[in-house]
Amino acid sequence: MTGSHKRTIEAGYDRVADQYLSTKDPEDPLTLAALEDMSHVLPENAAVLDLGCGAGVPVTRWLARRGYIVTGVDVSARQLELARRYVLEATFIRSDMTELAFEPETFDAVVAFHSIIHVPRKEHPALLADIHSWLKPGGTFLAILTVTDFEGEDSNWEGWGAAMRWSHHDAETNRSMLRETGFELRYAEPRTNPGTGGSDETWLWVEARKPN
């Protein structure tokens, strides 16, 4: 990400980390069902990378409690401070996800819930290629992407007094990018869950596999 884009994301999540955590449902049925479904194909002690892990609730914590070897990545220092409090079993790295450098075939799974949406969309193909490389053959990519095409900034996100930027593609573009990267789609479908403030939100839920 460019310096200004990265600073907006980092500063925004540092500022709203506690409020943002308060919006997270630790028992969100869609999230837990997707994680449970993915777990059926993961080996015991699987190595899992959580991109944009935030405060670790509920995704990172669920993965760690399953006994997986979890690495969480986030650009926000405050988010990671909270994550280390709530998920003692995981390893955390402060980094822009586009700047990570893991060895090929390091992870059995990579998850990215509501995080790639902050990466400039022109960088999505390269990031997906990195994710594909980091996965072992047969590895799983579980993500929440978007159904709409949008690029922009809100100077007062959710009324929390922090700026935030988003950059993402519509559903079919996301599906096409995943296939072009070499992923096999198990599903890539819109699912709706309650959003903050009582408004429903529809996202593109994706489970994709790196072929053996």
Sign (positive or negative) of CA dihedral 121, 31, 8, 156:
positive
The answer to whether residues 91 and 71 touch, using CB atoms and an 8 Å cutoff, is: yes
Res 24: pLDDT: 93
Check residue 6 and give its pLDDT.
Answer: 95
Concatenated DSSP letters for the chain? --HHHHHHHHHHHHHHHHHHHHT--TT-HHHHHHHHHHHTTSPTT-EEEEET-TT-TTHHHHHHHTT-EEEEEES-HHHHHHHHHH-TTSEEEE--GGG--PPTT-EEEEEEES-GGGS-GGGHHHHHHHHHHHEEEEEEEEEEE-SS-EEEEETTGGGSS--EEEEE--HHHHHHHHHHHTPEEEEEEEEEEE-GGG-EEEEEEEEEE---
Which tens digits make up the pLDDT trace of 24-78? 999 999 999 999 999 999 999 999 999 999 999 999 999 999 999 999 999 999 9
Instruction: Say if residues 117 and 168 touch (Cβ distance below 8 Å).
Output: yes
Which CATH number fits the domain 3-209, given the four candidates 3.40.50.1000, 3.40.50.150, 1.10.287.1400, 1.10.10.1590? 3.40.50.150
pLDDT of residue 198: 54
Cβ(55)–Cβ(24) under 8 Å? yes
Residue 199 pLDDT more than 90? no
Confidence of residue 95 (pLDDT cuts 50, 70, 90): very high
pLDDT of residue 193: 79
pLDDT by residue (tens digit) across 145-198? 999 999 999 999 999 999 999 999 999 999 999 999 999 999 999 999 765 555
Report the run of H or E that residue 152 belongs to, with start and end.
strand 150-154
